Amino acid sequence: MKHFLLAILLLLNYGSLLAEEPSNKSAVAVTIESTNLSGLKSARETFTTFLHSMNDIKRGQAKRINDAMSTLDLSDINPLIRQEKGQDLAWTLLEAIDKTKVVNLKKVPNYNKGKPYVFARYENGDISIEQHSDGRWLFNKNTISSLPYLIEKLASKKSLKVDDADAQFIPWHIQLRQQLPEPLRTRTFLLENWKWLGILLTIALGVIADKLTAFLLHFSVKRFRLNTKTPAFKEAPEDMLRPLAMLIMAAIWWAGLNLLALPDQAMIILLVAVKVLAGISGVWGAYRLVDLVTLYLRYQADKTDNKVDDVLVPLIRKTLKVFVTVIGITFVASNLNLNVSSLLASLGLGGLAFALAAKDVVQNLFGSITVILDQTFHTGDWVVVDDIEGSVEEVGLRSTKIRTFYDSLITVPNSLFITAKVDNMGQRRYRRLKCNVSLTYDTHPDKIEAFCEGVRELIRLHPYMRKDYFHVYLNSLAASSLDVLIYVFWETPDWSTELRERQRFLLDILRLARAQKIDMAFPTQTLHLLTPQDQQSTSQPSIPSIDVLNEQFKSSANNIISESIKDGTKPPPVKF
């Protein structure tokens, strides 16, 4: 209990640290923003930062794209596509500037405060830089929103700035659009015609790649199953690597959508769908890998006599799948720009409530650990827990599945095994039989003793019977029979073998009795009907005195004992 309370306190402390993290992050963010003003203190610095960053990217410094994006006001761009869209907008802005006029940075104002700087005006908007409330000078929202229309109007113009061919780098969709004929650049419905064709082509390439990859992977797995020397891997399903084909399809769609530079709403819908598909495919593929590892572990476990590993294999499989699921959810959440830290912080703040709600989960987890450490039972054991009786099919993290003898499946929470009494019938070394063989009263005593010795010989000869401990004796003078006690054990691995050997033994007893002409008794009553004439004719014989009778019975007892116990010595204890 102390350890449990300590775990709760640690969880609460961790939650408080996570809860404080946003405020710390905000403080750090303010510091970072203040230091980032070094390249954004004026319109000239912002323009310089943008142009130098884009030129460095052309020369191979791809990481400078973040510096270029920092000069753009992307607050109106959805966070889900801000990174992809920001990169595309940076290149679009550079293309628009290069087709408008040659930039003379000395003519760009360098004041820290003042009115916005307008680089150029067009029919559908302008390119301007203005100061934000935090002091940064950025290309404003109007500039960002009007870029698609500006680049459409400037499409027929040539760039006024020409770099070396080796340093030239323009986004694929801009280069392609410049080469397309006018009909394809026309906006017929929502998007330009060439973008509709691009979407169709991307989907087709993804589907074709999925089918082709699935076929190749199916063929590879089939050959692997035929050539592998590990028997466990021969049971692997032929479509085991199918999720990898879906992952390739999602990757093609992801890349294709980013290259097409679609509008924000379309990008949000399609990219979210593709990211979720990629996450599901990754989790599914990891599940298949876990199943493959489980096949190998089960193969190794079957080679050992220890049954602990038979219980551990399902637990390892479920634990790995839970871990993979958590990783998959985290991946999807991070790609959807969900604040995972805030979610963890909220869980930390509600740690106590969560711990109370998860009390049963924790108890079930400790119950499964108890079953493994104490080896309470193993898979296949016949157990009796309270009023539940059956064979253990599977031991999981939360519950244990027991197959009853009427073929129903009962799921028992593992927390029950912490306090419940478990009668493990499967752990019996021997299976016991205790019964009486009833003989008729007219059976001669010597035959009864010989019959008991014959049954003992059967026990010695039966292969599964315990030879070092058994009892066969006349045990009771019942109302209608002479009862011979038979108390024996079998050393059998399972109940089916026990039933077979029990039948064999009981039938051999019947064969022995029939061979020696010994009759089995059954409950009977003898009725004597006397008529009045029988009562008158019946004469009572004379009975000797009690003293004479005592002497007669004592003499008979001495004769019997002298015959049954030789030399009058005390028999030793029974030894097997």
Instruction: Check whether residue 437 and residue 495 sit in a common domain.
Output: yes
Could you give the CA distance from residue 313 to residue 307 in angstroms, rounded to a whole number?
10
What three-state secondary structure class fits 128? strand
Least Cα distance to 284 among 272, 276, 273 occurs for 276
Q: What integer best gives the mean pLDDT of the chain?
A: 76
Model confidence, pTM = 0.48
Instruction: Check whether residue 520 and residue 467 sit in a common domain.
Output: yes
* pLDDT tens sequence across 338-379: 665 665 555 555 555 555 555 666 676 777 777 776 677 777
Could you give the CA distance from residue 364 to residue 358 in angstroms, rounded to a whole number?
10
Could you give the CA distance from residue 69 to residue 294 in angstroms, rounded to a whole number?
47
Instruction: Check whether residue 113 and residue 154 sit in a common domain.
Output: yes
Q: Which run of H or of E encompasses 138?
A: strand 137-139
Instruction: Check whether residue 86 and residue 145 sit in a common domain.
Output: yes
Judge whether residue 396 has pLDDT over 50.
yes
For residue 436, CA distances in Å to 432, 445, 490, 503, 511 come to 14, 17, 17, 15, 16
Confidence of residue 23 (pLDDT cuts 50, 70, 90): very low
Answer yes or no: is 455 within a domain. Answer: yes
Instruction: Check whether residue 231 and residue 297 sit in a common domain.
Output: yes
Contact call for residues 519 and 447 (beta carbons, < 8 A): no
Could you give the CA distance from residue 562 to residue 517 in angstroms, rounded to a whole number?
28
**What is the β-pairing status of strands 399-404 and 388-395?**
antiparallel
Quick one: pLDDT at residue 538?
57
Judge whether residue 423 has pLDDT over 50.
yes
Judge whether residue 274 has pLDDT over 60.
yes
Answer yes or no: is 454 within a domain. Answer: yes
**Average pLDDT for residues 65-80, to the nearest whole number?**
83
Instruction: Check whether residue 443 and residue 399 sit in a common domain.
Output: no
Instruction: Check whether residue 334 and residue 388 sit in a common domain.
Output: no
Instruction: Check whether residue 308 and residue 228 sit in a common domain.
Output: yes
Residue 61's Cα: distance from chain center in Å? 43
Could you give the CA distance from residue 141 to residue 487 in angstroms, rounded to a whole number?
95
What three-state secondary structure class fits 491? coil
Residue 404's CATH number: 2.30.30.60
**Average pLDDT for residues 235-249, to the nearest whole number?**
80
Judge whether residue 218 has pLDDT over 70.
yes
Least Cα distance to 399 among 409, 389, 407 occurs for 409
Quick one: pLDDT at residue 269?
77
Confidence of residue 487 (pLDDT cuts 50, 70, 90): very high
Better pLDDT: 11 or 522: 522
Judge whether residue 489 has pLDDT over 90.
yes
For residue 420, CA distances in Å to 14, 115, 415 come to 35, 79, 9
Better pLDDT: 186 or 203: 203
Judge whether residue 325 has pLDDT over 60.
yes
Which of 390, 424, 458 is the C-terminal boundary of a domain?
424
Confidence of residue 437 (pLDDT cuts 50, 70, 90): very high
Answer yes or no: is 75 within a domain. Answer: yes
Judge whether residue 222 has pLDDT over 70.
yes
Could you give the CA distance from residue 73 to residue 300 in angstroms, rounded to a whole number?
60
Contact call for residues 484 and 437 (beta carbons, < 8 A): yes
Answer yes or no: is 448 within a domain. Answer: yes
Confidence of residue 564 (pLDDT cuts 50, 70, 90): low
**Average pLDDT for residues 51-61, to the nearest whole number?**
82
**Among positive and negative, which fits the CA dihedral 229, 233, 234, 238?**
negative
Answer yes or no: is 531 within a domain. Answer: no
Answer yes or no: is 439 within a domain. Answer: yes
What three-state secondary structure class fits 72? strand
Quick one: pLDDT at residue 338?
65
The DSSP code for 541 is: P
Instruction: Check whether residue 414 and residue 503 sit in a common domain.
Output: no
- Residues with Cβ < 8 Å from 172, sequence gap 6 or more? 259
Could you give the CA distance from residue 64 to residue 90 in angstroms, rounded to a whole number?
11
Please name the residue ranges forming H helices in 70-192. Answer: 82-100, 141-153, 172-179, 182-185
For residue 72, CA distances in Å to 45, 47, 51, 90, 399 come to 13, 10, 12, 8, 55
Residue 112 exposure: Cα atoms within 13 Å on the Cβ side: 6
Lowest mean pLDDT among 106-115, 336-345, 445-454: 336-345
Could you give the CA distance from residue 117 to residue 94 in angstroms, rounded to a whole number?
17
Answer yes or no: is 530 within a domain. Answer: no
Instruction: Check whether residue 407 and residue 432 sit in a common domain.
Output: no
Quick one: pLDDT at residue 224?
81
Structure tokens at 563: 């015959």
**Average pLDDT for residues 31-59, to the nearest whole number?**
74
Residue-by-residue DSSP string for 347-396: HHHTHHHHHHHTHHHHHHHHHHHHHHHHT---TT-EEEETTEEEEEEEE-
- Residues with Cβ < 8 Å from 547, sequence gap 6 or more? none
Judge whether residue 170 has pLDDT over 80.
no
Answer yes or no: is 575 within a domain. Answer: no
Judge whether residue 472 has pLDDT over 90.
yes
Residue-by-residue DSSP string for 32-44: HHHHHGGG-SSHH
Instruction: Check whether residue 321 and residue 398 sit in a common domain.
Output: no
Which of 500, 524, 548 is the C-terminal boundary of a domain?
524
Which of 107, 137, 170 is the C-terminal boundary of a domain?
170
Could you give the CA distance from residue 212 to residue 244 in angstroms, rounded to a whole number?
12
Could you give the CA distance from residue 288 to residue 283 in angstroms, rounded to a whole number?
9
Quick one: pLDDT at residue 433?
92
Main-chain dihedrals φ then ψ at residue 75, nearest 5 degrees: -65, -25
Confidence of residue 394 (pLDDT cuts 50, 70, 90): confident
**Domain hosting residue 383, numbered range:** 373-424
Selection from 149-153, 162-166, 480-484 with the highest mean pLDDT: 480-484
Instruction: Check whether residue 240 and residue 105 sit in a common domain.
Output: no
Quick one: pLDDT at residue 101?
83
Lowest mean pLDDT among 47-56, 96-105, 369-378: 369-378
Confidence of residue 25 (pLDDT cuts 50, 70, 90): very low
Contact call for residues 243 and 292 (beta carbons, < 8 A): no
Judge whether residue 434 has pLDDT over 90.
yes
Judge whether residue 527 has pLDDT over 50.
yes
Contact call for residues 272 and 334 (beta carbons, < 8 A): no
What three-state secondary structure class fits 531? coil
- Residues with Cβ < 8 Å from 370, sequence gap 6 or more? 376, 414, 417, 418
Structure tokens at 271: 């990219």
Quick one: pLDDT at residue 175?
62
Return left, alpha or beta for 114; rule: phi > 0 is left, psi -120 to 50 is alpha, else beta.
left
Lowest mean pLDDT among 179-188, 255-264, 284-293, 297-306: 179-188
Judge whether residue 307 has pLDDT over 80.
no
The DSSP code for 412 is: E
Confidence of residue 435 (pLDDT cuts 50, 70, 90): very high
**Average pLDDT for residues 172-191, to the nearest whole number?**
65
In the chain, how many domains are there? 4
